[in-house]
Amino acid sequence: MAADPLAQHFIAFALQSGVLRFGEFKTKAGRLSPYFFNAGLFDDGAKLERLSQAYCERLLPHIGTFDLVFGPAYKGITLAAALAMQLARAGHNKPYAYNRKEAKDHGEGGVLVGAPLAGQRVLIIDDVISAGTSVRESIAMIRAAGGTPVAVAIALDRQEKGRDGDRDLDESAVQQVQREQGLAVHAIATLADLMDFVRDAPAAQAHADAVHAYRARYGVTA
């Protein structure tokens, strides 16, 4: 199968921006990973512009499946606003909303800010799905407000087995969200795309064996 051009351009951009690094990094699951992806380093206007363009391009084929963009605090807030602007520029003006970490007891009050969720098909946007906790919390808030969560957009799908204590699971956090919640998950890039990148990009080929070995040990079936 041919490499996905959007994913390949995004990975190259993430590497150039220092968001993606190769080396040896210990994950929260205690694994030694040959790569590290830190979306918090999309930390200036130009990077955020390109990141939101990539989200927009990935989502345009699915534009008719959602009505509103929801960004969970904190990273998702900026992502939701940036994506909403990109969608508007592309001719699809969608409302957006987000949550506070703590309820406000004055003014408009509550934990939700932005457009009303009631009656809306809602896309949740975040950087990654690690354990699925943020997505589940978002789903509960959206449903409580009368909305219907229908999909999740993320920057990178690591496509690796989740953990339950000391035990590796047979599915990833993304797959678990898809199975349990019935939501579509749209990723700009995946670990499979990263494998294509390290195979073909001269600057990254030195890391190809390590990435392939990691995928073989911890990866899930797509």
Residues 181-192 have a mean pLDDT of 96
101 is catalytic: no
104 is catalytic: yes
Mean pLDDT of the chain: 93
Contacts of the segment 130-134: beta carbons below 8 A, 24+ positions apart: 130/28, 130/173, 131/162, 131/173, 132/173, 132/174, 132/176, 132/177, 134/72, 134/76
Q: Per the residue annotation, which of 26, 106, 161, 207 is the catalytic one?
A: 106
Q: Per the residue annotation, which of 9, 47, 94, 104 is the catalytic one?
A: 104
Q: Give the whole-number percent of the chain exceeding pLDDT 90.
A: 81
Query: Which pTM was predicted?
Result: 0.93
For residue 7, pLDDT beyond 90? yes
SS3 call for 19: coil
Nearest to 198, CA basis, from 181, 215, 182: 215
Q: What is the pLDDT of residue 194?
A: 96
For residue 26, pLDDT beyond 70? yes
User: Cα(26)–Cα(44) distance, rounded to whole angstroms?
Assistant: 27
142-154 pLDDT per residue, tens? 999 999 999 999 9
130-184 pLDDT per residue, tens? 877 889 999 999 999 999 999 999 999 999 998 887 788 899 989 999 999 999 9
pLDDT confidence band for 51 (50 / 70 / 90): very high
SS3 call for 59: helix
For residue 21, pLDDT beyond 70? yes
Residue with tokens 């969560």: 149
Domains assigned to the chain: 5-218 (3.40.50.2020)
User: Cα(67)–Cα(62) distance, rounded to whole angstroms?
Assistant: 11
Say which residues have a Cβ less than 8 Å from residue 1's Cβ, sequence separation at least 6: none
